[in-house]
Structure formats: structure tokens, C-alpha cells
Amino acid sequence: MEASREERSVQEIALNNPIILKEIFKCASTPLKSCRLVCQFWNNIVLSLPNTRLASKLAHNDKDDSDDDSQAVQYFSLCRALDGRLAKRISANSDIVSFGWKLMYICDKFNDRVQILELCLRKENSLKLVCPVLRNCCPNLKQLRIVGKFIAKDLDLFPPGEEQILPVKPNLTLFALTCWNFRPEIKFSTTLANLIDLVVNASPNLSEVTIPWGFYPDLSNSKSLVSLNIALDEVDPIKIEDIQNVSKLSGMLHQVNGQLVNLTIGTVQGAFLLLPSTHYRFENRPQIGFHLTRRMPKLRKFSNRIVEMFRCADFFQNIEMMPFLETLVIGRQLEKRGVDEILQGICKAKMVLPSVRNLEVVELFNSRLLDRVATAFPNVERFEMVRMLAREVEGEVRRLEVAVVLEAFRGWKRLKHLKLTLSEFPVQMGEFIWGLLRGEELFRRLSTLEIKMRRWDENYETRDFSEDEMSLFKQALLVMDKMDRVTIAGLDLSTESRNNIMDFVASHKISASKFRMMGGEFL
């Protein structure tokens, strides 16, 4: 017999309240698949979310050795039993058997339901199989994401005689196309360019677009576009140096530079360029002359992660075209010059960028420059520094010393949040902890500190602090207790060292909840 309302606990009442449950399920950390299994009521709440993270996946099953007819019967039965609310988001991989008709069938069956389409394409004719789906299905599509490897051979996206056009998709606001194998030296296929043009022309309300480097669609009718990402993903850097159509890039940006809020150049989302690399050398190759021709009054975020491909003078001119910039990301992915030259140029030119509140620097070699450039960014509140590639210069291993970095930030008076990503785990733990102690003055102003340390050796073991290291670390805890949140990822200690520290924390009444260390947990 169901308990009366008076007998139910506050927690039970809350977990049966659809308004409260929806807010809980919206949290990124909530496992929606598990929540669906609790009861039918929870399942209905999960499926009623407007932007569910659940997706219907057309994945390849390596264990399935049934014939084509049996697979077809199983697939049709699966689609017939599928709750239409799960078809709002569909993910498909072209490696699956009969990719084309399976994608077409599920998109046609749930035609009006499909809102998000995510496609991973690895085969030569995959694009040709996708276009009929975009033409005949998914009129209410809101997001289209395509990633894959695309060949240089030109393909007809539609059968001969059919008009090369897609129906208008008024609800499509996000279009992202990622190319894993950009190869300009073989005259890259026009097929990909045609697909980009088709989608852009059919989507008058696009607000966010991601396209590969080297493609320049006509954006003159994209009046709602506020975010443009010109991306490099899983690309060999040596293959992007020969750029002949920079004027086309300038022309494309000229169409939208009065409306963009976010402009990103050179985002690398894959792992290729995160590996240590010293054999890419661009010193003897000409840099690209690229500069904006008009002001960008609405731009709030500018990210350029391939600054070494552009002349510093043009970079300064471009920044001057962004009077209300709040977030600036500068980085290099190819070789050693770039970020250091830009910061040195900022110091020499005595530039002041008072609107910038968030600053991210990727692959800065000389971290001491941060002290000199502080006057250029008087109002920066959040700073992130990533150091993954800059490990060797002229045969000399240079480690990013925490003490040097923390001292360099003494002049950043408004800084509240600091995040450091280090290329190597500290060899001398005592030196690392001593470096933290040198930041005591800075910690009085900081609200959060996050340090991530990369381990290249996956077969590492937990370690014990020596007596001296333990003494230093306890002092560091007292110093860092002044901040609201501290994260040191990758600090894996033995149970004995951890218990020792926890006893110290308890005895000195340190707020344990603010520290995140051992794999995201406190100590």
C-alpha cells in the first residue's frame, strides 16, 4: 500500500516532483541512462527534457554475424519499438553495415522528431549517402555535426539531373564539419566545399558554424551567425603551410565581422598535436599576411591557436579591431616561435587591452614574460596557461617551473582564477611543493587554483612523500587554504601519505571540501 503524503520523507516527495527532477536531470553529471531504469515516471521525465543528452546510436556490432536479411529484420523491429522521444538525437557511424539505408529509414520514420544529427564518416561514398537524408528528412533539424576523413576524388552529391539544392531548414542553428585529413597538396575535393555551401545556403538562421581550414562559404545571408570556428582537427601541421587564398578568408570574415561574438582560428580537438614534437620547423617559411578590414564591435572572444602562421604586426592590427574583446586565446601548435614574439611585441608597443577579462596562453616558452606583460591586461580575472609541446629548445629540456609562474603573476592585481596545464609531472616533488609556497602572496588574492600535470608514462605507481616533502606539503596546505577551491590533478599518493595529510587537515581545521587532488577527490 502506497504511503500517505504525511508518511513520505522530504526526499521522496522531491524525487517524485517533475519540476525538481527535471532540474536534477539537466545536470551534466547525472547518468540519464541509469535514471531511465528507475521507474516509468523517471523515464518519462528524462525523455521529456528539451535538450536530452541521450542519443539513438547506429553503431557497428562486431559480434553480429547474421546475414543481411536477419540484420534488416532486427533493425526494423528495433525502430518500431523505439520511443520517438529517443529519436530527437541520432548518432551514426558509416562503418556499420548498410549505413545509408539504415540512416535514411530511422530519419524518415521519425522525420519530424529528429533535432540533432551526428555523423562519423570514414568511407568514400559516405557524403553521397548523407545528402538524400538532408534533402528528404529532418525538416526540424536544429544541429548537424559531421566528422570524418574525406577523399580528394570528386563525388556527385545527388543523382544526375537532380537539382543541387537542399530544402530550407529554418530551425538549424548549429553546423559543425570536422575534417581529419586536410590535404591541400592534392587539390582537395570540391565535394566537401559543395556540401558546406548547400547546408549554409539552406540554413538562414545559423548561429554557430565550424568549418575546416581552407573552405570559404558565402556567409552574406547568415544574418544570425554569432560564432565562427575555423578548425584544424587531427591535421599534420606541415600540410597547412601553403595557403594561397588568404584573401578569401578575409572576404568571408568581412561578410560577418559586424555581427560575430566568437571567432576561433585553429582549434585542435584531436590528440595529434598534443604529442611532443620538435621536427616541425617554420623559421624559413613566409608567414601569412592576414588582417581584418573592419572593426568587430560585437566580438567578445577571439581565439587564435596557430599564431606562428601570422605576422605579429597583423595580429596587433587585428586586436585593435576588437575594442570590446573580453576573452583572448593565443597559442601555437606548430613550432617554437609565435606566442613569445607576440607577448614581446605587446610589451614593446606598450599596448593596453582593458576590456580583456579572460586570457589563455598556449605553448608560451618564456613564462617570465608574464610579469612584463601584466600592464597590457590590467583587468584580467581568469588566466589559463597550457604547456604541452614546449619541452625542448636547441637540445635543452625546459620545464615549466611553478615557482617562476606564480611569481610572474604578482603584478596581475585583478586575477582571481588561475589554471596551469604542465607538460610533465615534476621529477623533484620537493621543488614543486616549494614552488607552491612561493605563491603565498598571490594566493591571498586568488579564488581558485587548478594545476594539471601530464604523465607520459602510464605505468606509474603511487608515491610516498619523504619526511621533508611531507613537511613542505603541510605548509603548502596552510598557504593554499586562503583560496576557495584548489585542484591539483595527477598528484597520486600512497594510502599512508594520504592518511598522514588527512590527519593534519583535521587537526588544523583546514576546509577539506575546497581541495581536489587525488583523481578529483580530496586527498
User: What pLDDT, on the 0 to 100 scale, is given for residue 384?
Assistant: 94
User: What pLDDT, on the 0 to 100 scale, is given for residue 278?
Assistant: 36
Beta bridge partner(s), residue 143: 116, 174
User: What pLDDT, on the 0 to 100 scale, is given for residue 41?
Assistant: 80
How does DSSP assign 461-516, residue by residue?
--BPPPHHHHHHHHHHHHHHTTSSEEEEET--B-HHHHHHHHHHHHHTT--GGGEE
Beta bridge partner(s), residue 144: 117, 175
Dihedrals phi, psi of 509, to nearest 5 degrees: 55, 45
H-helix or E-strand containing 151?
A: none
3-state secondary structure 184-222: HHHCCCHHHHHHHHHHHHHCCCCCEEEEECCCCCCCCCC
Grid coordinates belonging to 31: 547518468
How does DSSP assign 155-175, residue by residue?
--SS-TTS-S-----TT--EE
User: What pLDDT, on the 0 to 100 scale, is given for residue 495?
Assistant: 84
Residues 6+ apart with CB under 8 A from 44: none
How does DSSP assign 319-369, residue by residue?
HHT-TT--EEEEE-SSSSSSHHHHHHHHHHHT---TT--EEEEES-S-TTH
- Give tens-digit pLDDT for 155-193: 777 777 777 889 999 999 999 998 876 554 444 567 888
Burial degree of 405 (CB within 10 A; 0-12, 13-18, 19+): buried
User: What pLDDT, on the 0 to 100 scale, is given for residue 394?
Assistant: 44
User: What pLDDT, on the 0 to 100 scale, is given for residue 397?
Assistant: 43
pTM equals 0.83
**Residue ranges, the chain, pLDDT below 50:** 1, 62-63, 184-187, 242, 269-282, 390-397, 520, 523
Chain Cα centroid distance, residue 231: 11
Report the amino acid identity of residue 163: E
DSSP 8-state code for residue 53? S
Report the amino acid identity of residue 311: R
User: What pLDDT, on the 0 to 100 scale, is given for residue 484?
Assistant: 94
Nearest Cα neighbor of 180 from 241, 125, 234, 123 is 234
DSSP 8-state code for residue 35? H
